[in-house]
């Protein structure tokens, strides 16, 4: 393997089958990496996202033409779903009890791997209340959560519809979603990190969020699209424009920590502060 070939490539995402097989989505195509030094090129079509399904032993790849599905035993192409969302790349893939879901900035599609049925959801057809899907996650209760161009939604399977969660709070791009067992969702947004109390939502239907930015704990700048990885031990790695951050979700205290307000001017005039600098006179 040419190691400089890996270091010189730009990668959009990684899917882990096992410690012995890692799938890389890069500018040279879809590659299988076998540590420590073996690399196999599966397809030279540039992928945007990948998803490994352990049940079927498939690797699904989202690209601008659509979605390609490969059998991981021999890396043969077994399904090529073309022209899903015209002129838009598939940037997120997940699986729930209804099948595989493919998201793009154009809309959403659902694919049944058994029947091969495909259903498209678009705003033009009034199937969805949002424009596009950037990130998705399925929690331990098999609820599909969608990070969209206009906030957080969940899919309600019984009525085949989508519900917005706390629309007055989060209306920005949700770049990634990670679930921690049945207690938390962690969301990456253009303005920082949100934690969503999943346990409280299921118990009482209440949407309770905590927010983190440079002022109260999270030091990154704009979390990257699907740029997060959860380890089996509960550590969440978050990539951003400026740094890689790590959050330990098993020990973290999610109690609210309000940002302390500091006032230095009133009506463009500097104010005098008391000795402890938290009140002005």
Between 275 and 135, where is the model more confident?
135
Best CA proximity match to 58, nearest among 12, 120, 15, 13: 15
Average pLDDT (106-111) is 94
Q: What is the pLDDT of residues 5-29, one digit of tens each?
A: 554 566 777 899 999 999 999 888 9
Q: What is the pLDDT of residues 249-271, one digit of tens each?
A: 777 665 666 666 667 778 888 87
| pLDDT given at position 261 | 66
| pLDDT given at position 203 | 93
Residue 142: which pLDDT band, with cuts at 50, 70 and 90? very high
Please provide the average confidence, as pLDDT, over all residues in the chain: 86
What is the DSSP-derived secondary structure letter of residue 281? -
Q: Which residues contact 176 (CB under 8 A, 6 or more apart)?
A: 135, 147, 187, 188, 223, 224, 225, 226, 227, 228, 238
Q: How far apart are CA 215 and CA 126, in angstroms?
A: 40
Count of alpha carbons within 13 Å of 171, Cβ hemisphere only? 3
235-146-115 Cα angle (round to 5):
110
| pLDDT given at position 277 | 46
Q: How do the domains of the chain map onto residue ranges? A: 3-256
pTM: 0.84
| pLDDT given at position 260 | 62
| pLDDT given at position 3 | 46
pLDDT exceeds cutoff 80 at 195: yes
Q: What are phi and psi of 176, to 5 degrees?
A: -150, 160
Superfamily the domain 3-256 falls into: YVTN repeat-like/Quinoprotein amine dehydrogenase (2.130.10.10)
Contact yes or no for 49/93 (Cβ under 8 A) = yes
Q: Any idea which residue has 């209760």 for tokens?
A: 141
Q: What is the pLDDT of residues 150-193, one digit of tens each?
A: 999 999 999 999 999 976 678 889 999 998 877 889 999 888 88
Count of alpha carbons within 13 Å of 113, Cβ hemisphere only? 22
Average pLDDT (217-232) is 82
CA distances from 240 to 126, 219, 222, 231, 253 (A): 33, 9, 6, 18, 22
């Amino acid at each position: 393997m040419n190691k400089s070939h890996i270091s010189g490539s730009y990668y959009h995402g990684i899917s882990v089958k096992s410690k012995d097989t890692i799938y890389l989505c890069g500018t040279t195509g879809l590659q299988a990496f076998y540590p420590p030094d073996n690399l196999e090129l599966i397809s030279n079509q540039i992928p945007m996202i990948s998803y490994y399904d352990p049940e079927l032993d498939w690797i699904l790849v989202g690209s601008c033409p659509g979605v390609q599905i490969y059998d991981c035993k021999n890396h043969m192409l077994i399904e090529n779903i073309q022209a899903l969302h015209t002129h838009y790349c598939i940037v997120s893939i997940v699986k729930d009890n209804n099948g595989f879901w493919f998201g793009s900035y154009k809309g959403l599609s659902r694919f049944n791997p058994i029947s091969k049925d495909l259903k498209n959801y678009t705003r033009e057809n009034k199937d969805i209340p949002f424009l596009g899907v950037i990130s998705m996650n399925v929690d331990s209760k098999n609820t599909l959560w969608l990070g969209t161009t206009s906030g957080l939604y969940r899919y309600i399977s019984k009525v085949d519809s989508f519900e917005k969660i706390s629309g007055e709070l989060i209306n920005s791009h949700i770049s990634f979603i990670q679930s921690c067992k049945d207690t938390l969702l962690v969301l990456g947004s253009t303005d920082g990190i949100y934690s969503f109390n999943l346990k409280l939502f299921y118990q009482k239907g209440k949407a309770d969020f905590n927010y983190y930015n440079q002022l109260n704990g999270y030091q990154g700048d704009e979390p990257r699209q699907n740029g997060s990885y959860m380890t089996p031990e509960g550590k969440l790695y978050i990539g951003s424009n400026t740094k890689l951050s790590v959050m330990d979700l098993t020990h973290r205290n999610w109690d609210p920590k309000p940002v302390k307000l500091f006032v230095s001017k009133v009506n463009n005039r500097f104010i005098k502060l008391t000795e402890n600098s938290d009140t002005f006179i």
